[in-house]
Amino acid sequence: MLILAAASVALGIVTFPRYPVSSFWPLAVLFGLTVILAHGSLELPFAASLSFTFAPIFAGVLFAGPVGGAVLGLAGAVTLQEVRERKPAWRILFNVCQLFLAGLVAGLAYAASGGQQIPVDQLHSVTLIGALIAPAIAVAVFFSLNLLLVGIAVSLDTGMGWKETLNALGPGSYWVSLLVLALLGYVMAHLIGISSWFGLLLLVLPFAMARQTFRVYVELTEAYTETVRSLVAAIEAKDRYTRGHSERVAIHARQLAASLGFSSADVGLAERAALLHDVGKIGISQTTLTSPVQLTPAEVRQIRRHPVIGADLTQDVAFLSDVVPIVRHHHERVDGAGYPDGLVGPEIPMLARVLAVVDSYDAMTSDRAYRPGMSDDDARVELKRVAGSQLDTRVVTAFTALLDEPSAEVDDQ
């Protein structure tokens, strides 16, 4: 983190004097707009957070080069919501540094590829390089550097490999929205260049309308989650030993994913997958599930089908499709001895490894028909014993640390 901060300061000191800004008041307008849009960002349940800040940041690159990109990157880096939620200082600092660098380097790429700063109150001739090539290069550089820095941070924080980190970040899903925002930023910069403030106002109003549309979407998907929670509770009510299990696992999974540094989208995904991880047991005989005696080999094979049944049940439901691999693989073991597919280590989805740990803990500490629940201390000892063979060691370490925090406590349902 210190290296990233030092690199940001050093590059800013070297770059800013070489690219002076001819007029600061349009940059101030874009700065204010970026702050407003950053505070209006939304956390989407099935994607990363939705923020429109790239549009004014990109406009800043076109209008004021590296200085504009860097300054507006700072404007979009921190929100009051993050401060209220007491987001860790190092994460705020990282976000500040990575957006500053992404904006600055995108501006440098724009200038190096022949792009020129848009002059105020002037209509200037448009060339192919200035209108298309240089802006496209700037967008690609901003996107790539942002993805690289965020990917490195997530990989270091969670222990995931680079390939798995890229899959978790899902960069392919950002391109369409990024290009749309880039076009809006392009228009913003040119409207400022000709001092068309009314035109800029007309361009900004759709942002508010779009945000309201997505707000409705968020509320609808939250209603879906609550419906799932109610259905799972109804299913579990048949067995007093497992009643509330999925809800407790969901709470722990959400807390653990957040502590490991997953994005808000993946934290929500972990919660939904945890709620549904045992839904496949609806296809297993109730007699087998509640048997107070040792199960026969045939009954064990029947119970081991529940991850596959659960995956089959959820894969055809559009808003649940992202939980399928987690539900299917939450009983895999890192040594390859798990089921249903015998995946090994990194082959197991990271959130499935998270779910495996919290599911194991709650199962051990809950009373079952065939045995009383373990104490918290005994369950922790068992988690550590099987770390590296059955469970992911890094996830076990993070979870046992989380259990020491008062906020991690979950009352029996």
pLDDT tens digit string along 285-302?
A: 777 777 777 788 888 888
pLDDT tens digit string along 20-52?
A: 887 788 888 888 888 887 776 655 444 444 467
Local confidence band at 164 (pLDDT 50, 70, 90 cut-offs):
low
Q: According to the model, what pLDDT value does residue 46 have?
A: 43
For 348-361, b/e burial (b = at least 16 CB within 10 A) is bbbbbbbbbbbbbb
The answer to whether 57 touches 155, Cβ cutoff 8 Å, is: no
Average pLDDT over residues 298-325: 87
Residue 314 has pLDDT above 60, yes or no: yes
Neighbours of 88 (CB within 10 A): 10
Count the alpha carbons within 13 Å of 283 in the hemisphere toward its beta carbon.
16
Out of 231-245, 273-287, 317-331, least confident range: 231-245
For the chain, the structural domain boundaries read 2-216, 237-408
Q: According to the model, what pLDDT value does residue 175 have?
A: 67
Q: What is the topology classification, in CATH, of domain 2-216? A: Arp2/3 complex 21 kDa subunit ARPC3 (1.10.1760)
- Separation CA 50–CA 302 (nearest Å): 43
Local confidence band at 329 (pLDDT 50, 70, 90 cut-offs):
very high
Q: What is the topology classification, in CATH, of domain 237-408? A: Hypothetical protein af1432 (1.10.3210)
Q: According to the model, what pLDDT value does residue 239 have?
A: 60
